[in-house]
Amino acid sequence: MSEPMKRRAFLRTSLAASAAGALAGGAGRTGAAAEAGGAAPAQASNALPCGKIGNLTVSRLLLGGNLLTHFTHSRDLKYVYNLTAHYNTDEKIIETMLLAERHGINTLSVHNPPPIMKTLRRYRKERIGKMQFIICPTAECKPGMVEYAKQVDDLVDAGADAIYLWGVRGDQLAGQGNIALMKEAVAIAKAAGVPSGVGGHDLRVVEACESNGVEPDFYIKTFHHHRYPTGPRPEELKGPYSEYPGYWCKDPEKTIEVMQKVKRPWIAFKVMAAGAIPPKDAFSYVFNGGADHVLAGMFDFEIAEDVEVARQAVAGAKRQRPWCS
C-alpha cells in the first residue's frame, strides 16, 4: 500500500476514534446528550429525517458554519471569537463534521473564507467523510457578475453540492430593488449544475424573488421568535434588522404568513438567535412555523443532544405549511 493511502486510512481511523470519544464522553453535556452519544447509529441514513432540495437529500438539521469560521455572533462578548478560534482548529472542524455525520447530519452550510475552504477541500480530496456542502460566495454582485461567477466555479470545483446567494447580498439587492442581479446570481449557480438558492435576513428578499420570477431552488431565511431576554424592544422593530444585533428575524409572524404561500424548500437559520434561545424551544418553534430544515451552529459536544431535539421536533411538528422538501 502506498504511503499516501496509509496516511489517509490512519487519518480516517484516528478521527473516527476521536469522534467516538467525544460521543462517549459528552464533552460537557449530560443526560440526553450522553444517551444519544452512546446510541448513535453507525450509519447516518437512519438517524434523521430528510427532505429533497433539487437532487440532494438533505437532513432536516444542518450543521451551520459560523462556529467553524469562528464568526460567533457573540454580541459584545468579543473574547468568544478568539476562544472559538482556539477550540475549532482545522482538526477539530474535521472531527465535528465526522461526528455530525455519525448522528445523521449530512449537510453543512457555510460561507467561503479561505481557511474553511482549505479544510473542506482537504475533506473532499482525502475522502475523509461524506458531508454535503451548501456554500455561499461572498463576492459582491455587480453588473457582469464576473467575480461572483468565478467564485461559484471555484466552489463547485472545491466540492460544493449547492450554492446560494449570501444573505448579506440578498438583503442588499432586495433593498435596492435590484432584481436583475438576484436573477443572475441564481442563474449562474444553476448553470454550474448545482441547486441554486437565495439567502436573506430581510423578508423582502423572499417577497422580491416570489414576485419577480427569480426562481431559486431553495431559500435560506432567518426565523426565530422574540421571546428571549435580549429580544428586540417594540421601538427597535421600526428600524432595519441590521441596526439591532440582538435579533435577526424582524417579524416572525409575518415570516410565517409569507412562507405559508411559498412552495420552495426553506432552510431556516439564526433559529436560536445566536444562542439566546435553547434548541428545544427554537427547533420546535421553527418546524411548527413551517420551515423544512433547521440550520444550526453546533460545537461537537452539542451535536448528539441537538440531533435528538431536532428528531423529536420533526416528529411532533404541528404545522400548517406542508413540507416542501
Q: DSSP character for 316? A: T
The secondary structure of 106-120 as a DSSP string is -EEEEE--HHHHHHH
Closest CA to 16 of 87, 125, 91, 68: 91
C-alpha cell at 67: 462556529
- Tens digits of residue pLDDT in 218-238: 999 999 999 998 888 777 777
More confident residue, 245 or 140: 140
How many other CB atoms are there within 10 angstroms of residue 60's CB atom? 26
Q: Where are the domains of the chain?
A: 3-315
pLDDT band at 183 (very low <50, low <70, confident <90, very high): very high
- Tens digits of residue pLDDT in 42-68: 444 446 999 999 999 999 999 998 888
**For position 246, what pLDDT does the model report?**
59
CB 70 within 8 A of CB 87: no
CB 217 within 8 A of CB 197: yes
pLDDT band at 83 (very low <50, low <70, confident <90, very high): confident
Q: Which residue has the cell 426553506?
A: 266
For residues 10 and 4, give the distance between their C-alpha atoms in angstroms, rounded to a whole number.
10
- Work out the angle at residue 167's Cα, subtended by the Cα atoms of residues 241 and 239, and round it to the nearest 5 degrees: 10
Taking residues 123-130, report their average pLDDT. 95
**For position 30, what pLDDT does the model report?**
33
Residues 6+ apart with CB under 8 A from 217: 53, 54, 162, 190, 195, 196, 197, 264, 265
Per cent of the chain over pLDDT 70 is 83
CATH number (3.40.50.300, 3.20.20.100, 3.40.50.20, 3.40.640.10) of 3-315 reads 3.20.20.100
Question: With 80 as the cut, is the pLDDT of residue 201 above it?
Answer: yes
- Tens digits of residue pLDDT in 290-305: 999 999 999 999 999 9
- Tens digits of residue pLDDT in 133-169: 999 999 999 999 999 999 999 999 999 999 999 999 9
Handedness of CA 54, 55, 61, 64 (dihedral sign): negative
Per cent of the chain over pLDDT 90 is 71
**For position 244, what pLDDT does the model report?**
57
